[in-house]
C-alpha cells in the first residue's frame, strides 16, 4: 500500500473473513482429504468446472472470470485508483533496483481474451458495454510509465490482435474449454514468444552497438 506516497507493507488481509475462513479446522481437514484422495480430487474438479461454466454462461460480452471490467478504463473507483498507484510505484521501484544492478528492465504487458478476439463484432459489443474506445488502456498506461521512468515496455496486445484477425485465430482458450477466454493456448504462447524474443534481440543489438536506440517491436511476424 501507499502511505504518504511511500510503499509500505499491508498485512491487513490476514484479518479478512475470506482469508480467515481458509484457516478453519473444517477447511484444513477438507483440504487434506482432497489432497490424499484421487476420487475427491476428481469430484472437486468437476464441481469447479460446473461452477465456472455457469458463471461464464451468465457473463456479458467481453467479461471474463477473475478479471474486472475496471481494468479496461482509467480508474475512477477509489480502490482502483489506489491499486493503479501501487502498481505504478511497485514497477518504478523494481526499475530503480534493476538499474542499481547495472541491468535493464523490460516490462511486457500481456493480453486478455477479449482484447485479441478475432471477431470484431464480439470486441465491438464489449467496447459498447464498457463505454470505451479501445481495450488497451492497461498497456498504454504501463507504456506511459515506462517512458516517464526510463524502462522498456512491450505491449503485446495490438500486434497479437493483428495476428488473430489476419489468421482468424483464437489465442486464448482451448477446444475443451471456451475459445477466446482464459489462458493463452499454444498459438498464443507461440506468437507472444516470438514478439518477446524479437524485442530482446533488438535490445541486445542496441546495447552491443553502444547506442541507445528507440527499439520497436517487430510487427511483421507470420
**Residue pLDDT, tens place only, 18-46:** 888 888 888 889 889 999 999 999 998 88
Check: pTM over 0.75? Answer yes or no: yes
47 in the same domain as 4:
yes
CB 92 within 8 A of CB 137: no
With cut-offs at 50, 70 and 90, classify the pLDDT of residue 203. very high
* pLDDT > 90 fraction of the chain, expressed in percent and rounded: 64
Is the domain of 86 the same as that of 173?
A: yes
Confidence category of residue 177, pLDDT binned at 50, 70, 90: confident
Cell of 119: 471477431
Residues 82 and 50 in one domain: no
111 and 200 within one domain: yes
Distance CA 190, CA 184 (A): 9
77 and 35 part of one domain: no
Average pLDDT over residues 188-207: 95
pLDDT at position 222 over 70: no
207 and 102 in a common domain: yes
Are 144 and 192 contained in the same domain? yes
The pairs formed by 36-42 with CB atoms below 8 angstroms and a separation of 24 or more are: none
- Choose one of 58, 84, 103: the last residue of a domain: 58
Q: What percent of the chain has pLDDT over 70?
A: 88
Same domain, 215 and 110: yes
Domain end call among 15, 32, 58? 58
Pair (20, 83) in one structural domain:
no
C-beta of residue 174 within 8 angstroms of C-beta of residue 186: no
Mean pLDDT value of segment 8-24: 82
Based on the fold, state whether residues 130 and 40 are members of the same structural domain. Answer: no
Q: Are residues 100 and 167 in the same domain?
A: yes
Domain final residue pick, 39, 58, 77: 58
Question: Could you tell me the three cell numbers for 207?
Answer: 546495447
Q: Where are the beta strands (DSSP E) in the chain?
A: 2-3, 6-7, 106-109, 152-155
Over the stretch 122-157, which tens digit does the pLDDT of each residue have? Answer: 999 999 999 999 999 999 999 999 999 999 999 999
Work out how many domains the chain is built from and give that number.
Answer: 2
Of 17, 15, 13, the residue nearest 1 (C-alpha): 13
Quote the pLDDT of residue 149: 96
Asked if 110 and 189 touch (Cβ cutoff 8 Å), the reply is no
Q: Which of 62-66, 104-108, 164-168 has the lowest mean pLDDT?
A: 62-66
Question: What is residue 59's predicted lDDT score, i.e. its pLDDT?
Answer: 61
Report the distance separating Cα 118 and Cα 128, nearest Å: 17
* Long-range interactions of 138-144: CB distance < 8 A, separation 24+: 138/71, 138/72, 138/109, 139/109, 141/84, 142/91, 142/107, 142/109, 143/109
165 is in which domain, residue-wise?
67-222
Same domain, 53 and 113: no
**Which pLDDT band holds residue 1 (cuts at 50, 70, 90)?**
confident
Amino acid at each position: 500500500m501507499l502511505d504518504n506516497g511511500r510503499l509500505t507493507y499491508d498485512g491487513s488481509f490476514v484479518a479478512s473473513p475470506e482469508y480467515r475462513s481458509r484457516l478453519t479446522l473444517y477447511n484444513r481437514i477438507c483440504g487434506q482429504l482432497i489432497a490424499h484422495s484421487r476420487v475427491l480430487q476428481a469430484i472437486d474438479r468437476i464441481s469447479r468446472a460446473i461452477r465456472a461454466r455457469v458463471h461464464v454462461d451468465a457473463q456479458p460480452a467481453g467479461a471474463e472470470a477473475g478479471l474486472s471490467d475496471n481494468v479496461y478504463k482509467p480508474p475512477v473507483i477509489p480502490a482502483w485508483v489506489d491499486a493503479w498507484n501501487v502498481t505504478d510505484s511497485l514497477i518504478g521501484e523494481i526499475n530503480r533496483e534493476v538499474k542499481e544492478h547495472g541491468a535493464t528492465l523490460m516490462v511486457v504487458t500481456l493480453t486478455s481474451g477479449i482484447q485479441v478476439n478475432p471477431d470484431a463484432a464480439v470486441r465491438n459489443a464489449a467496447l459498447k458495454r464498457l463505454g470505451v474506445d479501445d481495450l488497451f488502456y492497461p498497456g498504454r498506461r504501463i507504456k506511459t510509465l515506462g517512458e516517464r521512468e526510463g524502462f522498456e515496455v512491450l505491449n503485446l496486445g495490438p500486434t497479437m490482435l493483428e495476428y488473430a484477425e489476419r489468421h482468424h485465430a483464437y489465442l486464448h482458450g482451448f477446444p475443451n474449454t471456451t475459445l477466446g477466454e482464459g489462458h493463452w493456448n499454444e498459438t498464443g504462447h507461440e506468437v507472444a514468444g516470438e514478439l518477446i524474443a524479437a524485442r530482446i534481440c533488438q535490445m541486445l543489438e542496441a546495447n552491443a552497438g553502444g547506442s541507445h536506440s528507440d527499439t520497436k517491436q517487430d510487427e511483421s511476424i507470420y
